[in-house]
Chains A and B, each alone.
Chain A
Amino acid sequence: MKLMHCPLNGWRNFGEFVYGGEVTLPPAHDADPKEWADWVFMEDNTAGVVREWWFHSPSSYWFIAERDNVRDVVLRTYPPEEIFQERVDFSSEGASQ
């Protein structure tokens, strides 16, 4: 079993992690349904260096890994704040609900 470096817990067995799919930014909340369908159902399936969500299950921690899926090497792992820096707000319409 391989090891992966969890930004929160350090090196852990691969079996402790859960794959969470490619890191892709969700469309705007009012984007075209086609755009949403694309985000929900399509994966880029890149051969090479990919950016993926991984979850350390025992500590319930999501982070991001850059992985070369051709060489099967994890290049770097880091907290999601590196990419998701800003608070996401939707339009204030209906904010009273």
Chain B
Amino acid sequence: MNERLPAPWGSLLDREQPLTFTFEGERVGGYVGDTVSSALLGRGTWLQGRSFKYHRPRGPFTLVGDDASCLVQLPEEPNCPAEHIAAEEGLTVKGQHYSGSLKRDRARFMEKFSRFFFVGFYYRAFYRPRGIWDYWEKFIRRAAGLGSVNTNTAHRYRDKQYAFCDVAVVGSGAAGLSAALAAADSGADTVLIEREPVLGGGLNYHRFDAEGSSGPALRAEMAERAERHEHIRVYRETQCTGRFGENLLALVHGNRMTKLRAGRVVVATGVISQPAVFHYNDLPGIAAGSGVQRLMRQYGVKPGRRAVCVTANGDGYGVALDLADAGVEVAAVVDLRERSGSDARADAVRERGIAVHPDSGIVHAIERDQHVAGLRITRRRQAERSGAPGTDIECDLVTVDVGATPAISLIAHAGGDVSYSNETHGLTVRELPPGMHVAGSVAGPCSLRAAQAEGEAAGRAAAAGGPAALPVPAERDGPCNDPWPIFAHPKGKEFIDFDEDLTIADLRNAVREGFDSIELVKRFSTVGMGPSQGRTAAVNAVRITADQLGETVEGARASTNRPPAIPERFGHLAGRGFDPVRYTPMHQRHVEAGATMMVAGAWMRPAYYGRDRGTAVREEVRAVRENVGLIDVTTLGGLEIRGSDAVEFMNRMYTFAYRKQPVNRSRYLLMTDDTGSIVDDGVSARWADDHFYVTATTGGVDSVYRRMLWWNAQWRLDVDIANVTGAWAGINIAGPNARAVIEKLDTDIDFSAEAFPYIEARSGHLADIPVRVLRVGFVGELGYEIHCPIGCAEALWDRLMEAGREHGIQPFGVEAQRVLRLEKGHIIIGQDTDNLTHPEEAAMGWAVQRKKPFFVGFPALKARESQPLTRRLVGFRLPADTDPLPEECHLVIDGDRITGRVTSIEYSPTLNYPIGLAFVDPGHTEPGTPFSIKGSGGTMIEAEICSAPFFDPDNERQNL
């Protein structure tokens, strides 16, 4: 069995390139082109997995991973379908879910207790008393695990692609290829998606006729045309895992997820072979006929020595012919039908002298060495009778062709209607969702000729954007499904769902328990909830549920199908790690100056300059208070409000009054939302009667801008609102020597105290750079906030640094700015306020103009202010030796009541004691009032309310 079949068998193999990998510690040989599963089967290793509940030996069934019997463990990834893992030199593969070894699983004894593991066992056994599940859970999880996650797995690069096309064709069998070619020939931009490494689907391995010649000939011609077609892009080895709104397809291939927006989708995904249900139908060596054909044609594997082909249609005869051609002795074709019908393949089988047993049923399979060793068959109507006489046929391979179910995932995702039909004896697409076409066997059993015709029709209709129509059922002439390929056995173990080890009795019992619809049966029995998601279980589950209910199966639905169609990796969903940050134009200068950078909203900002936070912040604060400092405030939001209604608009958006704001003067801004709570603040500079320049907080500007646009969409004022945040940079120069530094630069602005006093605003030039200068005082010193076009900002920064060199100018960061503003008692929106803080609570009542008819939040504010105040923001100080300091959000406690919390706290290097802001009981806000803060570890810290500003209370320094 170690020899592979000679070419042309094994079309995917590159026999020039042998390779070796290990499975369960044993060396396994194979070729480039092999999968882990096919290489193992090449040396006769069918046992590739263990079942979930009873630890039964399992091997591949469909050979394309539609079943989940062969999940294997890779070093960095668990639960990989062995049929889809390419064999690679040196790969280390292990089985999963066993104790001991895959071959000798000590847990197989579980099967002996199967009568205790009745359906719904876990739900019922651990329902009462309360808490019992918590105790048992860890044991159960350990026993019923899948693979194990390697938490040391190295990060792997994955990314995303966005793609567009007119027509996407999913599946490249006869129907898909025909559809893609027809669409592309009509000029449509077409994408063809195939999950296997080669185009052609069933054309690669299926035997459509007695000679086995039509498939390869057609494949050669169509696949080549498709690959060369100028309008077709081919995605090979690509899983289409879901169809989302408006034909957005998720394609997973290699490291990439492609989100493909398709005008139309042609679903030509074919069918999934279904198992026959009989005692021990899950043994390794029992496989779908199509799987065995793949194994021989594509991987050159001789799948056994002596085979039995169980069938209910002509395809099984094709499998028998293929097996015979490959040198496998075909012991018998077991046909479930009374008469085999007319099929050239059946005639050829008989001509070769292969025994055919029509009207047969299966009593059971025989197990030897964890592999199928034979099949007991009998007359069909006697098969379910206990102790029925039967004929044992010795074999080591059983192929199954009793029916298939259409691969309808994508159709179901799009909302198409799929239900059981007594005409096809299977799940059938009844109604197509808009924008989606079907072709080939996914629409119902069909011949090769019909698949081509349907593909062409669907491809043309999709390209033309014409209406999608289901192919007419009368044209269906393909392999039919057996209506009831189910043979109950007195000893059970006829598996419906291989993932969950569910048998006929389990499903019947679930219905007896009162779960009277497939959705309920699913939830109770877990049928279809395993890794294969019911792909090989749903049809038989629907049949048995309907039978047990005594209802007709016609029109019955399988449980709901949702994306993803197959498991997706989180890495694919996440794509590249992408954390965009914005840099100010002076970023490089900060880095050169040794700044420790921090993230502020979407921006990178200097926290402080140097490595040691304590020293740096202290030095920077001192520089601003005693000399001159420079801070990059580019991150401030900037908005231009222009138009004849500009002042009216300002009055409506902000709490203050702006009608009397003089030109070239700035004014504080406070914004409340519909609930009267503070949402933003900033400064406005009025450049003309109809022109305001407005700043907003770094994190708030986008929502401020959005709210402005929203309100004016309703007010329809004559005003233009522009977000110029990205167009303007800002530099704040502050300190007693600020004027001396700025006056050294060439300028057309008179910076003298008389000509440009506090709160004024000027526009002009500084070092030939156009600037807007606001004399505002966030840090409470003589200062100028200079705004300039972003492209000039680095040059302006350099000029100011040069001009300030003789004064020892010091750039300062966000941390020093926080200390400086706190010393002045200035609040930071979002830190010293929360989403419910109204101006009066924040001691900002002075910023509200109550004589205006309206501003946003005014009605709510009036209503809230008619209620008693529940908290108020105050300044406080702590003894100089307090250690450790309380932190922001530590609670203010009064007896047994929480009356507030700390919102800001810093050690003031200027005052030499800790200061802060806190919400406290509004009845106790007199300076000098003591109160308690509950610090870390529950220690109570005594604080004292004091009036803010803490420093320079009369604001003399900023007015210099």
Interfacial residues, chain A to chain B (CB-CB below 8 A): 1-3, 14, 18, 20, 26-27, 29-31, 33, 36-37, 39-40, 53, 55, 60-62, 80-81, 84-88, 90-97
Contacts and interface: CB of A to CB of B under 8 A. Distances in A.
Interface string B856-869: 00111011000000
Interface string B645-687: 0000001000001111000000000000011000000000000
Contacts of A31: 859
A86 B849 CA distance: 26
A1 B709 CA distance: 26
B245 interface: yes
A33 B581 CA distance: 43
A97 to B, nearest CB: 4
Contacts of A14: 245
Nearest to A3: B246
A3 B245 contact: yes
26 contacts: A1-B245, A1-B246, A2-B245, A3-B245, A3-B246, A14-B245, A31-B859, A33-B860, A37-B863, A40-B674, A40-B675, A53-B710, A55-B710, A60-B709, A62-B710, A80-B714, A84-B716, A85-B716, A86-B716, A87-B715, A87-B716, A90-B854, A91-B853, A92-B853, A94-B853, A96-B660
A95 B858 CA distance: 15
Contact of B705 (A20, A60, A97): A60
B259 to A, nearest CB: 8
B248 A97 contact: no
B616 to A, nearest CB: 38
A87 B156 CA distance: 57
A25 to B, nearest CB: 8
Contacts of A84: 713-716
Interface string B700-714: 000001100110011
Nearest to A35: B859
B675 A55 contact: no
A15 B846 CA distance: 41
B710 A36 contact: no
Contacts of B248: 1-2
B709 A62 contact: yes
B643 to A, nearest CB: 12
Nearest to A81: B716
Given A1-B244, A2-B246, A36-B860, A29 B713 contact: no
Contacts of A55: 706, 709-710
Contacts of B859: 27, 29, 31, 33, 36
Given A3-B246, A60-B709, A84-B713, A94 B863 contact: no
B659 A96 contact: yes
A81 B715 CA distance: 10
Contacts of A39: 674
A3 to B, nearest CB: 5
Among B245, B705, B862, find the residue whose CB has the most chain A CB atoms closer than 10 A. Answer: B245
A88 B715 contact: yes
Contacts, number: 83
Contacts of A37: 860, 863
A79 B859 CA distance: 28
B723 interface: yes
Interface string B704-738: 01100110011111000001000000000000000
B115 interface: no
B853 A90 contact: yes
Contact of B849 (A18, A53, A90, A97): A97
Interface of B: 244-246, 248, 259, 651, 657-660, 674-675, 705-706, 709-710, 713-717, 723, 849, 851-854, 858-860, 862-863
B713 A62 contact: yes
A50 to B, nearest CB: 17
Nearest to B856: A26
A87 to B, nearest CB: 5
A90 to B, nearest CB: 4
A62 B705 CA distance: 12
Nearest to B676: A40
Contacts of A86: 716
Contacts of B853: 29-30, 90-95
B210 to A, nearest CB: 49
Given A80-B713, A97-B852, 19 more contacts: A1-B248, A2-B246, A18-B706, A26-B714, A29-B858, A33-B862, A40-B674, A53-B710, A60-B723, A84-B714, A88-B715, A88-B717, A90-B854, A95-B659, A97-B651, A97-B657, A97-B659, A97-B660, A97-B851
A97 B651 CA distance: 8
A20 B710 CA distance: 9
Contacts of B651: 97
A29 B705 CA distance: 22
Nearest to B710: A62
A40 B705 CA distance: 20
Contacts of A27: 859
Contacts of A3: 245-246
A40 B713 contact: no
Nearest to B857: A40
A53 B863 CA distance: 27
A78 to B, nearest CB: 12
A14 B859 CA distance: 34
Contacts of B245: 1-3, 14
Contacts of B858: 29
Contact of A88 (B658, B710, B714, B863): B714
Contacts of A30: 853
A37 B203 CA distance: 68
B637 to A, nearest CB: 13
B263 to A, nearest CB: 11
B165 to A, nearest CB: 15
Contacts of A88: 714-717
Contacts of B706: 18, 55, 60
Contacts of B717: 87-88
A29 B856 CA distance: 10
Nearest to A88: B715
A93 B863 CA distance: 20
Q: Which A-B residue pairs are the 9 nearest by beta carbons?
A: A2-B245, A97-B657, A29-B854, A33-B863, A90-B853, A36-B859, A80-B713, A94-B851, A88-B715
Nearest to B708: A60
Contacts of B659: 95-97
A90 B706 CA distance: 22
A96 B660 CA distance: 8
Among A27, A84, A97, find the residue whose CB has the most chain B CB atoms closer than 10 A. Answer: A97
Contacts of B849: 97
Contacts of A93: 853
Contacts of A91: 853
Contacts of B715: 84, 87-88
A48 to B, nearest CB: 19
Contacts of A53: 710
A84 B248 CA distance: 35
Contacts of B259: 1
Contacts of A94: 851-853
A97 B854 CA distance: 11
Nearest to A4: B246
Nearest to A97: B657
Nearest to A80: B713
B836 to A, nearest CB: 13
A37 B864 CA distance: 11
Contacts of A40: 674-675, 860
Nearest to B715: A88
A85 B675 CA distance: 26
A85 B852 CA distance: 24
B751 to A, nearest CB: 32
A33 to B, nearest CB: 4
Contacts of A61: 709
Contacts of B723: 60
A46 B954 CA distance: 56
A1 B248 CA distance: 6
A87 B649 CA distance: 12
Nearest to B675: A40
